[in-house]
């Protein structure tokens, strides 16, 4: 019977240790949950105090950049159109000048050819 008494004592000790282990595991679980909750509150607080205002500023900057880039695009198109119009006018003016020069020089060239033919025929008839 002494053997059975010792076994019962060991079983009681093991039961008590198992109960203490269960309490420790439950305590660790509750502590972990409380730590998780505090960390999440801290993260949410940081997000509200730091990240949200920074995102608002970044969005405002992006909106300004969008407005500026749209304006630059419009001005670029306007300048491009002005350059095209100017180039068209320059081409038209060059064509007009070329036509006028040809018209005036063709008369002069005709006159010079006529004078040359007259001079050659006079020199040819004398020879």
pLDDT (tens digit, 9 = 90+) per residue, 89-106?
A: 998 998 888 888 888 788
pLDDT tens track for 55-77: 888 899 999 999 999 999 999 99
Which of 91, 71, 89, 67 shows the shortest CA–CA distance to 79?
A: 71
| pLDDT reading at 127 higher than 80 | no
pTM: 0.46
pLDDT tens column, 26-64: 999 999 999 999 999 998 888 888 888 888 888 999 999
Mean pLDDT, the chain, whole residue set: 88
Let me know the angle formed at the C-alpha of 93 by 91 and 96, rounded to the nearest 5 degrees.
Answer: 110
Residue 49 CA to residue 76 CA, distance in Å, equals 41
Q: Which two tokens stand for residue 64?
A: 């300004």
Q: What is the pLDDT of residue 87?
A: 92
Q: Where are the domains of the chain?
A: 1-127
Contacts of 103-112 spanning 24+ positions with Cβ under 8 A: none
Contacts of 122 (CB under 8 A, 6+ apart): none
By residue count, the chain amounts to: 127
Closest CA to 14 of 36, 55, 22: 22
């Amino acid at each position: 019977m002494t053997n059975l008494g010792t076994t019962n004592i060991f079983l009681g000790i093991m039961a008590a240790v198992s109960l203490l282990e269960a309490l420790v595991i439950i305590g660790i679980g509750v502590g972990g949950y409380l730590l998780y909750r505090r960390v999440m509150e801290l993260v949410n607080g940081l997000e509200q105090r730091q990240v949200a205002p920074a995102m608002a500023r970044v969005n405002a900057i992006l909106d300004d950049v969008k407005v500026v880039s749209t304006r630059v695009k419009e001005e670029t198109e306007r300048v491009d159109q002005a350059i095209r119009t100017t180039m068209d006018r320059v081409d038209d003016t060059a064509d007009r000048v070329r036509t006028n020069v040809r018209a005036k020089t063709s008369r002069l060239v005709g006159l010079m050819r006529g004078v040359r033919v007259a001079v050659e025929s006079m020199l040819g008839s004398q020879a």
